[in-house]
Amino acid sequence: MSTSVLDLFNIGIGPSSSHTVGPMRAARDFIENVEKAGNLPKTVRVVTKLYGSLGATGRGHGSDTAVLLGLLGACPRGVDVEAIPDMIADIRVRKNISILGKQDIHFEEETDLQLLPRERLDFHPNGMEFWAYAECGEELARAIYYSIGGGFIVTEHEAEMDHFEEEVVKHPYPFTSAQELLERCGETDRPISWVMLENEKVTHSEEHIRTSLLEIWEVMKECVQRGCSRGGVMPGLKVKRRAAELYKQLSTKAEAALTDPLTILDWVNLYALAVNEENAVGGRVVTAPTNGAAGIVPAVLHYYANFVPGANDDGIVRFLLTAGAVGRLFKENASISGAEVGCQGEVGSACSMAAAGLAEVLGGTPEQVENAAEIAMEHNLGLTCDPIGGLVQVPCIERNAMASIKAINAARLALKGDGEHFVTLDKVIRTMRITGRDMQSKYKETAEGGLAVTVPIAATVVDC
């Protein structure tokens, strides 16, 4: 398997890549297959079951809404975020859904969209099953999908076939581990971003890659701007949004930076809070590499763009390519799914990716970049997933701010050394995988452990 940087960073909607983006893609894929088989006109009922983690935190993460949007034919990248509440209200009020916008069918939410937290499919905790029926109850189609993190989905067939081997792309500079990546850099005397770019050029032109990465950067900037301009409380936990107020403080007291050199940290915190607050309310974000951890790479990129002398678009592209190379290692050798390995897979991976990207654009050697990625992950090992109320708000939003600062510190620590270090990135990735396997499921996106249990919520959870 070779995950593209354009898959790791993709434009979608909040609040969760595995629980919102993945289910939306799966529902749309299912219903498109029904249409391809010529069965859309015969379909009178569609039933969806969400298992395991999707069943446990699906409402808080908007999985139910995402499935309905997917059945309507919407996609995470293109859906009009502002129109979503009206689209969903229309389905619920009329008890009718227009599948792919072409075929009106009756929709009974209680029976047609079931969340089953106690049932689980074998391959992954985020399982989904879809059925399409004709008039007399005849089954027209049935399919199982898994949302494996970062918005990626696999079908039951792909899971059984080990599709990772099926879709091998021949790269000129192949790597499956950090060690191999360093070897490719050593053989060519080139940085990690160059190796990644040359491999990406097998499937896309250099111009397309650059344009797409800069578009991703634009969406990140727009997301920060929106987050800085919107106050109020977030639905569900009724937690106050902080980014807008913090932005006001920082921009009206710019002179504070003259007496407090750590003001830069306030700005980094701001960027992360802004993105994750937007994510929590279902706004447009860049999955990086998941939505729960969507604030870290943009926050560190903003730090680079706004505070590092000489920052430019070339640096942005190199940052994202390097971060993508590290993200690939986590996705292919461990997991970026909180439901599979806990928050270390989401926030930990994003922290490591951001540290690597920053270390490279600050002039780090490949060894220093690998060291930065390793430091950032090493100190996220064991991080559990325990979202209060099953919502991507607490601890997720603040956790992104903390991890952004950690990523910058990891890059700085690595750049002060010569690249030699005791624990390798490969060892840390392996440790993350093993730790995640040993972690009890209550700490893996089920909202059944940690803060999700010790902090009671007064209000009934409502969808983001």
Q: How far is the CB of 445 from ligand SF4 (least distance, A)?
A: 5
Q: How far is the CB of 412 from ligand SF4 (least distance, A)?
A: 24
* 181 belongs to the binding site for ligand SF4 (CB under 6 A): no
Q: How far is the CB of 396 from ligand SF4 (least distance, A)?
A: 3
Query: Which of 11, 347, 355, 407 touches ligand SF4 by CB under 6 A?
Result: 347
Q: How far is the CB of 302 from ligand SF4 (least distance, A)?
A: 19
Q: Are strands 113-116 and 45-51 parallel, antiparallel or unpaired?
A: parallel
* 24 belongs to the binding site for ligand SF4 (CB under 6 A): no
What x/- string results for residues 183 through 222 when contact with ligand SF4 is judged by CB under 6 A? ----------------------------------------
Query: Which of 121, 396, 411, 428 touches ligand SF4 by CB under 6 A?
Result: 396
Q: Which of 407, 330, 317 is nearest to 369 (CA)?
A: 407
- Which of these ranges, 62-70, 173-181, 385-393, 409-417, lies near ligand SF4 under the rule CB under 6 A? 385-393
* 392 belongs to the binding site for ligand SF4 (CB under 6 A): yes
* Contact (CB, 8 A) for 15 and 62: yes
- Which of these ranges, 177-185, 190-198, 339-347, 434-442, lies near ligand SF4 under the rule CB under 6 A? 339-347
Q: How far is the CB of 12 from ligand SF4 (least distance, A)?
A: 15
Six token digits for residue 168: 């091998």
Q: How far is the CB of 411 from ligand SF4 (least distance, A)?
A: 21
* 340 belongs to the binding site for ligand SF4 (CB under 6 A): no
* 387 belongs to the binding site for ligand SF4 (CB under 6 A): yes
* 350 belongs to the binding site for ligand SF4 (CB under 6 A): no
Six token digits for residue 185: 């850099």
- Which of these ranges, 37-45, 230-238, 244-252, 395-403, lies near ligand SF4 under the rule CB under 6 A? 395-403
Q: How far is the CB of 186 from ligand SF4 (least distance, A)?
A: 35
* 385 belongs to the binding site for ligand SF4 (CB under 6 A): yes
* Contact (CB, 8 A) for 10 and 286: yes
Q: How far apart are CA 109 and CA 83, in angstroms?
A: 20
Query: Which of 35, 277, 346, 360 touches ligand SF4 by CB under 6 A?
Result: 346
Residue number, 193 or 384, with CB nearest to ligand SF4: 384
CA angle 200–206–211, rounded 5-degree value: 105
Residue number, 288 or 305, with CB nearest to ligand SF4: 288
Q: How far is the CB of 461 from ligand SF4 (least distance, A)?
A: 14
Residue number, 324 or 387, with CB nearest to ligand SF4: 387
Q: How far apart are CA 233 and CA 25, in angstroms?
A: 29
Q: How far apart are CA 460 and CA 74, in angstroms?
A: 28
Query: Looking at residue 364, what DSSP letter applies?
Result: -
- Which of these ranges, 135-143, 157-165, 210-218, 381-389, lies near ligand SF4 under the rule CB under 6 A? 381-389
* Contact (CB, 8 A) for 278 and 331: no
Q: How far is the CB of 292 from ligand SF4 (least distance, A)?
A: 3
Residue number, 399 or 406, with CB nearest to ligand SF4: 399
Residue number, 3 or 344, with CB nearest to ligand SF4: 344
Q: How far is the CB of 128 from ligand SF4 (least distance, A)?
A: 18
* 449 belongs to the binding site for ligand SF4 (CB under 6 A): no
* 401 belongs to the binding site for ligand SF4 (CB under 6 A): no
* 292 belongs to the binding site for ligand SF4 (CB under 6 A): yes
Q: Given the rule CB under 6 A, which residues bind ligand SF4?
A: 292-293, 338, 343, 346-347, 385-387, 392, 395-396, 399, 445
